Chain A
């Protein structure tokens, strides 16, 4: 298993994000099911975390001092699996087994089956609370690990997200950073039509969080925001990452149907070609 040199430069991160996008398309196409839209929208942030920001050891996934990562919007797990495979947690050959019988890669993340998955996820609105628990534990035991949680904008309609928001501010857990993948689409419709969450930055500020807003596909901005988040003291941090659902595959971008639909072989080939071209342009 190859383990890439980390931390990566911004240029290397861009190339890795393109690789991860290709993995996502191939996995979901092979599985004939899955959630490409929200996997692609989160790809740049996840890449920055795993290849530059997080303290981790793929050879020791349970290392007690590691940073924790939770993909609370668990349906986007292809992006998580791809990042873990590219980072060397398990062999890339597993990616072709997504959602199949006896696979280590479940349809939604299972911490007992997949090396590197820090928390089981899938039922929306749990991950921020679980991350809060991890951060509180770190605080109690005077550990200096950081906990990173990606939540969705549709997921932000869950009441428990706001329960966790309130509690994290109460306990001033500055080792907790949430990233909102603000891609504007959910399963049924546009978030802002189905159940608007705006003004979402004001909401998080009102709940006592330090709030940053970034272009969630601009690697420089992503890296800078994640590094800043680690330095914020006395309150948790929310990074609102403005993203495009389906980012990198033009026919998937901003199309609600690509929330949970697999591309056929021809569509996947078009998508891969476009991502490879896009990734090269970035270099």
Chain B
């Protein structure tokens, strides 16, 4: 816990806070791709749960689940470049009580194999964990075919789905472990590129429970996955300009923590959502649906607009495609300015 009497932060590592307005945040701070945190977590899980098996589709060396294969060769299954077969086989395994972690990239998990994911995993509510790396624009240099910018929206639209995208490596591990305890399908979305370690393993991770990681009274940023840290940066910059901005880590897109977000809406009166995902159907849409029916207030969505991105460094892509801390901060200023105006 890094909270002090004067600090508005909750669960944020104390060494991170002074760096939030510094460029050093993405250079000197310990960083790790959350796909690697997943691999470490699933290996630990494999040690304590013999029912856990890992399925791969030719990206085990990219995600590092090949280390699970080295440790538990009999519980590791590499299906080659055949994601559809992997997903339906995972479903078959789950019918027998195994807990398969089917591992691939977000584009393939959410699109190539979506028919299997919908009909053979979600429809029968089988206990398959879909581990999807390369979420959003995090695979920057790989370009559009490998940038999973729709996975959160697509999976959210499936009945019985549970959709999680943790903000950093430690909370990713907690998500992977929590998924094993959750009966039914869970979709886990990871980053390809490294993100700063902003929390630690004491983080109160609970599926479906959003976490307020920064207090604030003027507006709330509700963020997911890699845009949580961008939102913290935005809030800290705005604090220097006298705005008090709450930040919520909404790691579980579905089921959405309606209570926490409505409380934030009532207490701060303005909402910005931030996701490295299409701004259709994902976090922004989910929050907007709740607000418009319950507590309409000024709101703005940060997400990938109606476009495909391109190859480039991850952080540069965030800037070019409107997902950076600066864009989030501008959105907050806009919704705060709209507060109290007649609608």
Contacts and interface: CB of A to CB of B under 8 A. Distances in A.
A134 interface: yes
Contact of B92 (A119, A141, A163): A119
Contact of B82 (A110, A119, A163, A171): A163
Contacts of B115: 123, 126
A111 interface: yes
Given A110-B124, A160-B85, A126 B93 contact: no
B295 interface: no
Interface in B250-308: none
Given A134-B96, A137-B93, A163 B85 contact: yes
B333 interface: no
A40 interface: no
A134 B95 contact: yes
B interface residue count range (under 10 / 10 to 19 / 20 to 34 / 35 or more) = 20 to 34
B88 A122 contact: no
Contacts of A136: 77, 89, 92-93
A133 B55 CA distance: 10
Interface in A114-141: 118-120, 122-123, 125-127, 129-138, 140-141
A130 to B, nearest CB: 4
Interface string A94-111: 000000000000000011
A120 B85 contact: no
Interface residues of A, number: 32
Interface string A161-183: 00110110001000000000000
Given A159-B84, A163-B82, A167-B82, A120 B124 contact: yes
Contact of B119 (A123, A135, A159): A123
B221 to A, nearest CB: 39
B124 A111 contact: yes
The A interface is mostly helix, strand or loop, or mixed, namely: helix
A120 B96 contact: no
A169 to B, nearest CB: 12
A127 B85 CA distance: 10
A64 interface: yes
B124 A132 contact: no
A255 B53 CA distance: 46
Contacts of B89: 129-130, 132-133, 136, 164, 167
B123 A120 contact: yes
A126 B124 contact: no
Contact of B80 (A122, A132, A167): A167
The B interface is mostly helix, strand or loop, or mixed, namely: helix
B338 to A, nearest CB: 46
B230 to A, nearest CB: 39
Interface string A220-248: 00000000000000000000000000000
Contact of A133 (B74, B82, B91): B91
Contacts of A129: 84-89, 91-92, 116, 120
A131 B92 contact: yes
Nearest to A165: B85
Contacts of A171: 77
Contacts of A163: 79, 82, 84-85
A203 interface: no
A125 B87 CA distance: 12
A112 interface: yes
Interface of B: 53, 74-75, 77, 79-80, 82, 84-98, 100, 115-116, 119-120, 123-125
29 contacts: A64-B96, A111-B95, A119-B91, A120-B119, A120-B123, A126-B116, A129-B84, A129-B87, A129-B88, A129-B89, A129-B116, A130-B89, A132-B85, A132-B92, A133-B89, A133-B93, A133-B95, A134-B95, A134-B96, A135-B92, A136-B89, A136-B93, A137-B93, A137-B96, A137-B97, A138-B96, A160-B82, A160-B116, A164-B89
Interface of A: 64, 68, 110-112, 118-120, 122-123, 125-127, 129-138, 140-141, 159-160, 163-164, 166-167, 171
Top-8 shortest CB links A-B: A133-B92, A129-B88, A163-B85, A130-B92, A133-B89, A163-B82, A133-B93, A137-B96
